[in-house]
Structure 1
């Protein structure tokens, strides 16, 4: 009983860490894939549709994947388009409060730059 009481906090911390890391990692992958998909669409369709139409479609692509994204789309001056996404994710467990930026949330950022085709 005493040994279990000594080991239980470590096991809970390990279990919560695994769950938290997996949750944050899945959101980072979502942000990376969404950013890449939006940048690819913009790079392919920029010359055909124009800047404003492409920007609206990119915002639609981003909002389709998650409504929590804050996007920043840089319209190119030369031959590249840049999409930066930031997602605010709520932490699952209270054990990792040192990671958050206040209120139990953490910001994950992804960016992608592609040449215009």
Structure 2
């Protein structure tokens, strides 16, 4: 019995994939950006119990304002818009406490061919 309770407390890869899939379908990868496949944007997402996005913030905000990082800024802004557009997110049953404050990495490389 304790083992099942512990499993419920943990977030699985499929839980994260479920959340990510709701957001990524709304994410526009910057087409034609130099080395777009190497732009990985981390976004910290805070959620209400009903899945409403309370905040979505780029983790590496300093990179957004660096010279030569325009493609990163565009990708980051697009990822944040996608998170907000996906609100409210459907959450896996019983996982709110584990998912209420998460960081998701958005990688255009994973989007090629979509």
Normalising by structure 2, what TM-score?
A: 0.37
Structure number with the higher helix fraction is 1
Normalising by structure 1, what TM-score?
A: 0.37
Structure number with the higher strand fraction is 1
- Higher RCO (CA-CA < 8 Å; seq separation 6+): 2
